[in-house]
Amino acid sequence: MARHLSDSQKQTIAKHLALMHKVVIFSHQSPDGDAVGSSLALMHILQNAGKQAVVVLPDALPSYYAYLEGFESIVYYSTDKEKAELEIVAADHFCFLDFNHLDRMGTSLSAFVQANMKPSWMIDHHQQPTDISEVLFSDVTFTSTSEMVYHFVIQNNWGSCINLPAMNAMYTGIVTDTASFRFPVVTAETHKIVAEMMERGLKHAPIHQAIYDTQTENRLRLTGYALSEKLVVNHANHYAYIALSEEELLRFQHQPGDTEGLVNQALSMQGIQIAAFFRQTSDLTAVKCSFRSKGDWDVNVFARSHWNGGGHRNAAGGKLVGSLEEAIHLFNELMQ
């Protein structure tokens, strides 16, 4: 892992760019701000470099990211499989952003991509990457994949291709993956990048307003219900969790992104060292899990060992095949 691309990597990137006509950019299931931010940023940059570029995501994004230019052009495999597969077949290069195992795209999309594999780049800041791309830019010390895209572009001397839509997208990824710059991984370099983008015209306040101050009534009511009725706290063992069933989600007309941040709310309590959020899938066959921790509590290892997932030391996720009750029982058992 390195914060700088090697000379051989830069040479490979230059060769790819010279041969590149059409690239498909992928990110992970249940895409978040960094997934869409890094993907749309690289899309704009490559388009400014004269390439055709399209973003294909496994499933839908929260609607509050619709302020991002290019949002409407994203192809979702879950709802437009035929178009997504046509784009994949037509491409001559792939870019994988904000994930490092193809299965993070879901079984069907992952299989189709592997069957139609092209020369590729992988840019990601999660632990234990798979070596499936000709160019692997992997470093867990970065705040976000969006920040890595900035470094990737600057180190390859494409700075002139960074326009305002790309900066808005990168800032979105940085601010959401750092929880507004509060995590220890944030460095002076991160703030310098943001400052440079602001000097070039980035307006940060409207982005914050779009993400954090544009909530639906249903989302607010769901948040209130989750915190008042579903929050479970174990003070003795310093953990807390929230679990929501599909029936409860439907009661509040749940939309993608509506439960974003609930796990951080649970972690924010005084004396709590680890928090979890469990959400039943719509088909009732599995439970999606999010984990957050403070200090040295490594939820990446926890998620990898017990929840078929992974992530970062203090923020990770996973999925358990089974019922919501089984997931809660396992979590409580592991926390004793």
DSSP one-letter string for 221-267: HHHHHHHHHSEEEETTTTEEEEEE-HHHHHHTT--TTTTTTHHHHHH
Dihedral angle over CA of 76, 82, 83, 87, nearest 10: 100
Examine the domain organization and report whether 138 and 234 are in the same domain.
Answer: no
Examine the domain organization and report whether 262 and 309 are in the same domain.
Answer: yes
What integer pLDDT is reported at residue 120 of this predicted model?
98
In a domain, 1, yes or no: no
- Please give the Cα distance from 240 to 291 (Å, whole number): 10
Query: Domain residues for 123?
Result: 7-211
Examine the domain organization and report whether 200 and 75 are in the same domain.
Answer: yes
Instruction: Choose the weakest-confidence range: 42-46, 160-164, 281-285.
Output: 281-285
Please report, rounded to a whole number, the percentage of residues in the chain having pLDDT higher than 90: 88
> What are the tokens at 63?
């609607």
CB within 8 Å of 56: residues ≥ 6 apart: 24, 25, 26, 74, 75, 76, 77, 84, 87, 88, 109
Mean pLDDT calculated for residue range 250-268: 93
Which of 211, 228, 255 is the endpoint of a domain? Answer: 211
What integer pLDDT is reported at residue 1 of this predicted model?
43
Please report, rounded to a whole number, the percentage of residues in the chain having pLDDT higher than 70: 99
pLDDT digits (tens, 9 = 90+) for 75-120: 999 999 999 999 999 999 999 999 999 999 999 999 999 999 999 9
CATH code, domain with 274: 3.10.310.30
Band (pLDDT 50/70/90 cuts) for residue 131 is: confident
Mean pLDDT calculated for residue range 309-326: 92
**Burial (CB count within 10 angstroms: exposed 0-12, middle 13-18, buried 19+), residue 264:** middle
In a domain, 157, yes or no: yes
Examine the domain organization and report whether 179 and 196 are in the same domain.
Answer: yes
Examine the domain organization and report whether 58 and 158 are in the same domain.
Answer: yes
> What are the tokens at 263?
């796990």
Examine the domain organization and report whether 200 and 222 are in the same domain.
Answer: no
Examine the domain organization and report whether 56 and 180 are in the same domain.
Answer: yes
Which of 211, 245, 278 is the endpoint of a domain? Answer: 211
Strand 135-138 to strand 231-234: parallel, antiparallel, or no bridges (unpaired)? unpaired
CATH code, domain with 128: 3.90.1640.10
In a domain, 153, yes or no: yes
**Burial (CB count within 10 angstroms: exposed 0-12, middle 13-18, buried 19+), residue 192:** exposed
In a domain, 72, yes or no: yes
In a domain, 2, yes or no: no
Which of 186, 211, 236 is the endpoint of a domain? Answer: 211
Examine the domain organization and report whether 65 and 161 are in the same domain.
Answer: yes
Mean pLDDT calculated for residue range 128-142: 92
Examine the domain organization and report whether 266 and 185 are in the same domain.
Answer: no
CB 148 within 8 A of CB 139: yes
Among 191, 142, 187, 153, CA closest to 171: 191
Examine the domain organization and report whether 61 and 175 are in the same domain.
Answer: yes
CB 100 within 8 A of CB 125: no
DSSP 203: -
Q: Please count the structural domains in the chain.
A: 2
Examine the domain organization and report whether 86 and 49 are in the same domain.
Answer: yes
> What are the tokens at 74?
């994203």
Examine the domain organization and report whether 154 and 263 are in the same domain.
Answer: no
Is residue 2 over pLDDT 70? no
Is residue 280 over pLDDT 50? yes
> What are the tokens at 32?
């978040």
In a domain, 249, yes or no: yes
pLDDT digits (tens, 9 = 90+) for 185-221: 899 999 999 999 999 999 999 999 999 988 899 999 9
Tokens 């001559």 sit on residue: 92
CB 154 within 8 A of CB 189: no
